Structure 1
Amino acid sequence: MIDTLLSPALLGTLMIATFMVLIMTKRMSAVTALLAVPILFGVLAGAGAGLGDMILEGVIQVAPTALMLTFAVLYFAIMMDAGLFDPLVRSVLATVGNDPVRIALGTAVLTSIVSLDGDGTTTALIIITAFLPVYRRVGMNPLILATLLGLCNSLMNYLPWGGPSARAAAAVGVNVGQVFGPLVPAMLAGLLATLLLAFFLGQSERRRLAASGCPISDGSVEPVSPFMADAEPDIRRPGLFWFNLALTMGLVLGMAFGLAPLPVMMMGAFSIAATVNYPRLRDQKARLTAHADNVVNIVVLIFAAGAFTGILNGTGMVDAMASAALSVIPPSIGRYMAPITALVSMPLTFVMSNDAYYFGVVPVIASAAAGYGIEADAIARASLIGQPVHTLSPLLAPIYLACGLLGVDVADVQRFALKWAALISLVVLAAALATGAFPLQAG
């Protein structure tokens, strides 16, 4: 029997290593690797007859998260199509003028708002096409734009529909709202620190430009953003601006106060938004079709992750790996598993994809931490701390998109931004510990 030759701990380690190698070398997509690898190792573990039940149990655990993400993506897509944020974009661009400080602050503010949809690629397209002409007109360093874009987007991705939070929750088998709620104060602290950083970088650019005597044009070059473009004016709903704003604010407040389960609120808000903004069935179908790819990619990934964790847990691999880890971790160190997880999330997420980290590493850490009495949701929150550093990972497609649009090298962006990303992560870590998002030590 194969399961007598290889211990569950060793099988689990090999399974996770195989999964990580396959997706980091792009031999398989994350979705296919999340399905094929655990099935193969589940068979090797002798659980062939029970794999179906394990997969279904794992999928059922993540079903609420997948449901919430489906309608969250659709809701914010509807709001963007309807033009809810267009006046804000115009106001920000009109306000920043030619002052480097205001331009940097405007970059951070607008990135945070546009990042509400949870799509880093869309955010990069919107912010860069809106602000790059302004940076060029003034003579500002485009690396500042890249840095603020990445930092604000990574912090806003703590939102339940942003991706990392959903992955962390699915990996440890808890509700995504349970992970996100206690992390809100730390996220706000990180955004505030990023605004202060934007002010500092803007001041530096103001002094540099003044010292160099760089002339500033009269502002005749106007930025154009696809976010507020007239390419599809028929889908904009400016007359419904106040209604959409009230609906969105009500949704955010409802989530903050936990008035109903997140999937229920998202489903209700989407149905209202779609019906009011696009009452004709043809228009609703067109909006759904336009955003179907984003929805399918997210939902399929979450369900595949459920299958992965279902087999990992059902075969006993994760418990065996946790026991093995506990046997070599001194109790004096293990008590600090939560802050240690937060610290190591910075280098790990830089060299690993989110899928490899959250579905391969975090479940093992959570199981080991449980031996010291640390809750799984606390480890999930701690694992999110390194996201500002992760946004500079060479494994991410958006960084290549952003650098291509900016006309800069990825290495230059990493050298310039990495120290600031680490600093913001440490600020979020300190705020998370101060507000009790996760404990400094067990017990």
Structure 2
Amino acid sequence: MLSILGFSMIAVFMYLIMSKRLSALVAIMLVPIIFGVIGGFFTELGPMMQEGVEGIASTAIMILFAILYFGIMIDSGLFDPLISKILKIVKGDPLKIVVGTAILSMTVALDGDGTTTYIITVSALLPLYKRLGMNKIILATVAMLSMGVMNMTPWGGASAMAMASLNLDASELFLPMIPVMGFGLIWVLVVAFILGKGERKRLGVVEIQHDHTNSAANSELAATTVSRDYRRPKLVWFNFILTIVLMASLIIDFMSLTILFMIAFAIALLVNYPDLKDQQDRIAVHSKNALAVVSIVIAAGIFTGIMSGTKMIDAMALTLVSLIPESFGPFLPVIVAYASAPFTFFMSNNAFYFGVLPIIAQAADAYGISAAEIGRASLIGQPIHVLSPLVAAAHLLIGLVGTDFGDLQRFAVKWALGTVTVMTIAAIILGVI
């Protein structure tokens, strides 16, 4: 009975958010409450929900301050020297331009926000692509491939949802994935080299004036990202060193990610914007992005709390285990790595990570496979997810580049599948899954 109730709840939840009858934020709170009442758990729901929310509070706080931190870094102009350097180096060589696109997009994507990544990358480099007559779909493809890998950071969305739904912290889920992401980024550079070499063969190397191109790109960049009043060019080295120290601290894992990002954000805000009004303005600008991600993570505490407290997740897992052939059990992480690609393409990350993933993780436990291992595997399909029409940032990219969604998907999907394959193989070799 609990299994039927649980699967019915998942089906209703997924239907409501995929049909846009309810927002994910509302559905993830109200649907489990309603099914909890139907299951006869009315008097026990309060403690269940409280426990679920408390379990993911630290993750939500970490995501909040990570988004704010990287927002400050972008506002202050941390990436401006990189953009200028790339524009200076690539000049009129299509090969260098495409590789530069990859380097810029994967660097800017550190903040985990596709919108920011696409705006900065396209604004800086689209004038060059137009000037040389390069294929603009290549620009969009390389930016998407970079975002597909970097979206696996805890503040990028997918990892945050996986941590929330499986009640894991970043050290369990994300840190082992860093070398896997490294292989994914190397693959993106390889793809950029292949595509760039093709464009160089088609167009040749064109001699252009750097100053004109650089000026055009930078003027468009300034118009589409942030007011120059908030740039802090004299603090670029300070911000760079602060970010490097933060990244190193994350890898060393000597302190919780939550505390590290809180401290780093406070330092960055105080040094870059000592004026209280400027601080308030910068926080207000980035609060929209932060609220969208953090609110859904906190709300997920109700969902996971009720699923666990009512034992629905256990009953569903037993049902799923009974349906999986015994010989397939040990290969579940690899199956999940590939299955997460179509799952997150045809449904939102919310539906997959909160609706499907907990069931798979519970089923995997019967084969001695940890929830962390299943969680890591579930992230590997993100390079396909970013190609989905369900991703709002993808529509922004299409508009910025001026291409057709179908054309982009047909061109990019094979390279995105390559990213999934490379990261899956790397994860297996490194013992991550």
- Which of the five TM-score ranges fits, normalised by the shorter chain? over 0.9
Task: Give the CA deviation at 1:268.
Answer: 0.8
- The correspondence for 2:3, drawn from 4, 9, 23, is 9
- The correspondence for 2:80, drawn from 80, 86, 103, is 86
Q: 1:223 to 1:234 in 2, by over 3 A?
A: closer
Deviations 1:102-156 (A, max 9, x none): 0110000000110011110111111111111111111111111111111101101
Instruction: State how far apart, in whole Å, the 1-side matches of 2:293 and 2:226 are.
Output: 27
Task: Give the CA deviation at 1:195.
Answer: 0.1
Q: 2:371 aligned with 1:376, yes or no?
A: yes
Corresponding residue of 2:229: 234
Count of residues in Structure 1 that have an aligned counterpart in Structure 2: 429
1:82–1:235 CA contact under 8 A, matched in 2: yes
Which residues in structure 2 correspond to 1:393-408 (within 5 Å)? 393-408=388-403
- The correspondence for 1:25, drawn from 11, 19, 24, is 19
Corresponding residue of 2:278: 283
Structure 1: stretches of 5+ with no match in the other structure: 1-6, 439-443
Corresponding residue of 2:126: 132
- The correspondence for 2:354, drawn from 334, 351, 359, is 359
Deviations 1:49-73 (A, max 9, x none): 1111111111111101001011111
Q: 2:289 aligned with 1:294, yes or no?
A: yes
Deviations 1:203-236 (A, max 9, x none): 11111224xxx97765644323665569622211
Q: 2:169 aligned with 1:178, yes or no?
A: no
Task: Give the CA deviation at 1:100.
Answer: 0.9
1:138–1:217 CA contact under 8 A, matched in 2: no
Residue type matched to 1:91 in 2? K
Deviates more, 1:217-226 or 1:392-401: 217-226
2:76–2:230 CA contact under 8 A, matched in 1: yes
Corresponding residue of 1:3: none
Deviates more, 1:239-248 or 1:356-365: 239-248
The alignment partner of 1:223 has SS state of helix
Deviations 1:310-334 (A, max 9, x none): 1111111111110001112122111
Q: 1:225 to 1:309 in 2, by over 3 A?
A: farther
The alignment partner of 1:26 has SS state of coil
Q: 2:240 aligned with 1:245, yes or no?
A: yes
1:83–1:228 CA contact under 8 A, matched in 2: no
Instruction: State how far apart, in whole Å, the 1-side matches of 2:382 and 2:358 are.
Output: 17
Task: Give the CA deviation at 1:176.
Answer: 2.3
Task: Give the CA deviation at 1:400.
Answer: 1.2
Task: Give the CA deviation at 1:200.
Answer: 0.3
Q: 1:225 to 1:317 in 2, by over 3 A?
A: farther
- The correspondence for 1:105, drawn from 99, 102, 105, is 99
Q: 1:187 to 1:231 in 2, by over 3 A?
A: closer
The alignment partner of 1:250 has SS state of helix
Deviations 1:360-393 (A, max 9, x none): 1000000000011101010000001110011111
Deviates more, 1:219-228 or 1:90-99: 219-228
1:137–1:216 CA contact under 8 A, matched in 2: no
Task: Give the CA deviation at 1:177.
Answer: 2.8
Instruction: State how far apart, in whole Å, the 1-side matches of 2:226 and 2:16 are.
Output: 40
Residue type matched to 1:151 in 2? L
Which residues in structure 2 correspond to 1:29-428 (within 5 Å)? 29-210=23-204, 220-221=212-213, 222-224=216-218, 228=222, 232-428=227-423
Q: 1:431 to 1:43 in 2, by over 3 A?
A: same
Tell me the percent identity.
48
C-alpha root-mean-square deviation of aligned residues, in Å?
A: 1.6
Structure 2: stretches of 5+ with no match in the other structure: none
The alignment partner of 1:295 has SS state of helix
2:165–2:304 CA contact under 8 A, matched in 1: yes
2:149–2:185 CA contact under 8 A, matched in 1: yes
